[in-house]
Chain A
Amino acid sequence: MLVPQLINGLTQGSLYALIAIGFVIIFGTMNLVTFAHGEVYMAGAFVGAFAMSLWHLPWFVALVMGMAAAWVLGFLIEKVAFRPLRTAGHMPPLLITIGLSIILKDLAVVLFGAENRPVPSIYEQTVRLAGVQVSVLQLVILGLAGTLFLVLRLVIQGTKIGRAMRATAQDHEAASAMGVNVNRVFSIAFALASCLGGAAGVMIGIYYNAVYPTMGGTAGLKGFAACIFGGLTSIPGAILGGIIIGVVENLTVQFLASGYRDVVAFLVMVIVLVLRPQGLLGRKLKTV
């Protein structure tokens, strides 16, 4: 049962990683933490679920719609909640995102009801790989997450937009003196982060066959944890952090009891952070 548990953990972890990357992008560009990220993920999940269950669209169309919706939501959150408070320090935007998270969650309860909403199953079959029965859906999710990591790498690495994001994070005045439209960079960063969160939401909805208004809470927490675990500003770190959390959780279920999964996962994180305060792939020097 070890190999199937590793695959379970890898699948779970790659979705944590997508959420964690969102925190990294937002923190890495704006030096801010958003607590509404989990709710953006929830919104993306709902759009994907509706696309599949109400409008009977294929899953990849649902995925694109969920990502697009999360993109728009992220864009709006940045415009409405962050931009007016750019010079107000760290606390006010933080509080605003906590408020937004509550508003979005309760709005979802009022609009869609508190109960789980079913998401149609796809790829219900399994395949045997080297003697191990593997769910096709898990392979699809792993493939998608991997593709998104690669696309993100393309965006961030070696292009104007990626450099502008990093420069803005380190000194937004100096960046704007170079002609970087800082507001636009913030918008794109927030929207991009939200879009990845939305993708994770749609995929988790398909994976667990359910979306529900409170789903963003735990997911947001795990993603944030993975982001810190990985080193706060490192995208590979966030991916590694998410996957380690996912795998440790599933191994805990296998060798201890499922009640301990979060305890052990967070314990491992605490130990690593005590030994390596900068996180797995974080830099020793404080950025900015």
Chain B
Amino acid sequence: MSLLEIQSVSVSFGGLMALKRVSFALEEGEIVGLIGPNGAGKTTLFNCLSAFQPASEGHLRYSGIALETLSPHQVAALGVARTFQTSRIFRRMTVLEHLLVGRHLHQRTGLWAAIARPAWVAREEAEARECGLRTLALFEDRLLPRLHDFADTLSYANRRRLEIARALVAEPRLLLLDEPTAGMNPHESAGIVQLIKKIRDLGITVLLIEHDMKVIMGVSDRIVVLDHGEKIAEGLPEEIRRNEEVLRAYMGRRYGRA
């Protein structure tokens, strides 16, 4: 059984079809790139997967469980973490606090425990902190020295890294990354490629939206191409590079407009 099965999923916004019967599957441990011109429906598909956007039709199966009827926090609880296309950090929280929020699903301190503070609450906090620090180590010295800085003081690239870190501390099985290198310079982007490989080595399956072809080609095991809400191609990076329809979709868009 595949980890994620997307079966003929459609989404319409008031008659406009953002996704048209899209189907593909993700196997455990894969890195799959999701590409396509602007407005192809990539982020809409992410929103469907994380239950922010209901699918008009079709099925989403995550290790056999139907995602359509769940709320975002329930999907997260199944082990699906995501980042957002535009940075969605908590601006008035420190780097460390982001990681602790990321541990939300692994903590059980409710209201009463928070008041009564039995010994295990302190242990739980310490564990979350430790896990956060372990995760930050993946980013080398980018975030660790800024542990107690508020997120809105971070550089743009560090905010993107922080978002990934926040998703990672949740220990997901599936990670959805929405344009993680947007706005980064080539050097920083190369770092993200290394990072994504490290993430896969942790046993996490990655679905990646990316515009930077260097990143996509460098990291993806397989690539799925969307255009105007439809899947127009799926295959190995080499196959996609040579796919005529994909070229037309990109070229047509670029030159057709002029």
Contact = CB atoms under 8 A, between A and B. Distances in A.
Given A166-B90, A171-B88, A180 B101 contact: yes
Interface string A170-193: 110111111111110000100010
B222 interface: no
A177 B72 contact: yes
A164 B88 CA distance: 15
Contacts of A179: 73, 76-77, 104-105, 170
Contact of A155 (B71, B90, B111): B111
B250 interface: no
A285 interface: yes
Contacts of B167: 177-178
A178 to B, nearest CB: 5
A83 interface: no
Contacts of B152: 285
Size category, A interface = 20 to 34
Interface in B66-124: 71-73, 76-77, 81-82, 84, 88-93, 97, 100-102, 104-105, 107-111, 113-115, 117, 121
Contacts of B245: none
Nearest to B90: A170
Q: Taking each of B92, B100, B105, which has the highest tally of chain A beta carbons within 10 Å of its own beta carbon? A: B92
Contacts of A176: 71-73, 76
Contact of A154 (B50, B101, B115): B115
A148 B124 CA distance: 24
B188 interface: no
B92 A283 contact: yes
B73 A163 contact: no
B93 A166 contact: yes
B52 interface: yes
A84 interface: no
B88 A173 contact: yes
A171 B105 CA distance: 17
A167 B107 CA distance: 15
A173 B71 CA distance: 11
A158 B84 CA distance: 26
A151 B73 contact: no
A159 interface: yes
Nearest to B103: A160
Contacts of A155: 111, 114-115
Contacts of B114: 154-155, 159-162
A183 to B, nearest CB: 8
A287 interface: yes
Given A166-B93, A170-B91, A151 B101 contact: no
Nearest to A233: B92
Given A170-B93, A173-B72, A163 B84 contact: no
B92 A181 contact: no
Interface of B: 50, 52, 71-73, 76-77, 81-82, 84, 88-93, 97, 100-102, 104-105, 107-111, 113-115, 117, 121, 125, 152, 166-167, 170
Given A178-B167, A180-B101, A288-B91, 10 more contacts: A155-B114, A159-B121, A161-B109, A161-B114, A163-B104, A173-B72, A177-B76, A177-B81, A177-B82, A178-B170
Interface of A: 151, 154-155, 158-164, 166-167, 170-171, 173-183, 188, 192, 283, 285, 287-288
